[in-house]
Amino acid sequence: MFSQSRLYYLFIGLFLVIQTSSSYKPSSIKNLGAFCANDTSHGYPNLNPIDQSQPRLINKVENGTLYQIGSGDDQIWLIHVYGNTGYDFGYAYGTLLRDQIHKVLPRAWTHFQQEIIDSLKDLKLPKWFENIIVNQGLDVALDFQNELVKKYTDEEIYNEMRGLADASQIDYKIVTRLHMLGEITRGRCSLYGLWGNVTLGGKTLQLRALDWDVDAGLQDYPVVTIYHPRTSKLGHAFANVAWAGYIGTLTGMSSLRLGISEIGVSFPDNTFGDESMSGLPFIFVERYILQYSETLDDALSFISDVRRTCHLILGVADGKLGTARMIQYSHSKVNFFDDQNLQPLADWHPRIPNAVYSGMDWLCPSRQYKLYRAIIDQYGQITPELSIKNITSIVKTGDLHVGVYDLTDNIMYVANARGTDEQGPKEAYNRQFVKIDLNIEFARQQ
């Protein structure tokens, strides 16, 4: 017997078969070629020393250990989870971070609900989806979106969310809904991949500067999760940088020395393809790469074969091969760039030998050019420390968090936006970075 809500989903389901069969197009032709806002202003060097203190043990349970790393207002939860299943990971996480999850998720949910309603016009969502949000509420819309992406998503991801919800005693639906938000809000971010002559000593470095919503309170409980699969079915060890209760990947590095970064695109040109709401959400595409890809080639073939969703720019760097690629990403088309064929090619986004980079968006001349100058002016000298001191802070990118990956030495540097009641500058790129030695963290046994 069908319950009322089942009937409702059936109805929406039929509706969707019709709607999603033709994926939606970038908002309107008029928008093709629009540029992002002109911002040529520069910031000040970040002169905070990098925090090099050792992680402090906080708590330990079956399948998980919780540490804190960093000092003062710039502390980060560092959690290790071990398991044979996604559920084991999630259960250990939810047990150790129960209080933090209860502080982050309800507040973030309330915030995003209001934010999305207020900015609906700018989000360029398909009309039918907008209608669900307006008429039924964001919760119904996201539950519905979850139904659309489920069949493309590894069930261990859902098992992990279930374990997290069970252990922390938070509503499972709130957890799944928050993981759908990345697809409909667009972070404006920056990335680079640098190797060979551009860096000091020929290191492979990657930048992930996340410019997203700093008013959702996510940064109050930043978490770096180190996953330790006990079976190869769950891939290999990797590090994910996020917030209490969030298991999608926006930022992270793997034990096979692959790094990932991403930019949401609001100003595409007509070289991008269509978008779709049904496919594997990009936060799980990125996570898959860290968890399962062994080489850059693995990662690129996964991206080319997976059912993609929205317009993005991705960065993947490989410390083993000493190179990086940038990917122009959409539902219907994908293009892979190295330093020889990087796009968009313009006087505000010139190619740089041994580098791929993108500042804030695709058609974003002022921000692209600032990042270009910061790299080219320091060509041959760039280290993680210099990047922190004199690139992200100067070009002003990474307000919510910044990750700088040293993929040669397996070290990650992370900073987060100022949390509630904390002191100092607001933006992550102006705050103290914490150094995390992943050689040690990936090797930690329970």
Cα angle 68, 392, 188; round to 5: 90
Q: Which is nearer to ligand NAG, 193 or 217 (CB)?
A: 193
State the Cα–Cα distance between residues 101 and 109, nearest whole angstrom. Answer: 12
Spatial neighbors of 200 by CB under 8 A, at least 6 apart, are 380, 381, 382, 383, 386
Residue ranges binding ligand NAG (CB under 6 A): 38, 40, 62-63, 83-84, 88, 91, 196-197, 230, 353-354, 366, 373-374, 377-378, 390
Q: Which is nearer to ligand NAG, 340 or 420 (CB)?
A: 340
205-to-270, 285, 430 alpha-carbon distances in Å: 30, 21, 20
Q: Shortest Cβ distance from residue 38 to ligand NAG (Å)?
A: 4
State the Cα–Cα distance between residues 112 and 132, nearest whole angstrom. Answer: 16
Say if residues 262 and 281 touch (Cβ distance below 8 Å): no
Q: Which is nearer to ligand NAG, 88 or 318 (CB)?
A: 88
Say if residues 311 and 277 touch (Cβ distance below 8 Å): no
Residue 222, preceding bond cis, omega within 30 degrees?
no
Q: Shortest Cβ distance from residue 391 to ligand NAG (Å)?
A: 8
Q: Shortest Cβ distance from residue 295 to ligand NAG (Å)?
A: 20
Tokens of 265: 């695109």
Q: Which is nearer to ligand NAG, 62 or 215 (CB)?
A: 62
Q: Give φ, ψ of 336 to 5 degrees.
A: -110, 130
Q: Which is nearer to ligand NAG, 99 or 377 (CB)?
A: 377
Q: Shortest Cβ distance from residue 130 to ligand NAG (Å)?
A: 31
Q: Give φ, ψ of 315 to 5 degrees.
A: -125, 135
Cα angle 104, 141, 314; round to 5: 70
Say if residues 169 and 185 touch (Cβ distance below 8 Å): no
Q: Shortest Cβ distance from residue 43 to ligand NAG (Å)?
A: 11
Q: Give φ, ψ of 170 to 5 degrees.
A: -120, 150
Q: Shortest Cβ distance from residue 227 to ligand NAG (Å)?
A: 13
Q: Residue length, the chain?
A: 446
Q: Which is nearer to ligand NAG, 245 or 273 (CB)?
A: 245
Q: Which is nearer to ligand NAG, 344 or 419 (CB)?
A: 344
Q: Shortest Cβ distance from residue 6 to ligand NAG (Å)?
A: 32
Q: Which is nearer to ligand NAG, 20 or 366 (CB)?
A: 366
Q: Shortest Cβ distance from residue 41 to ligand NAG (Å)?
A: 8
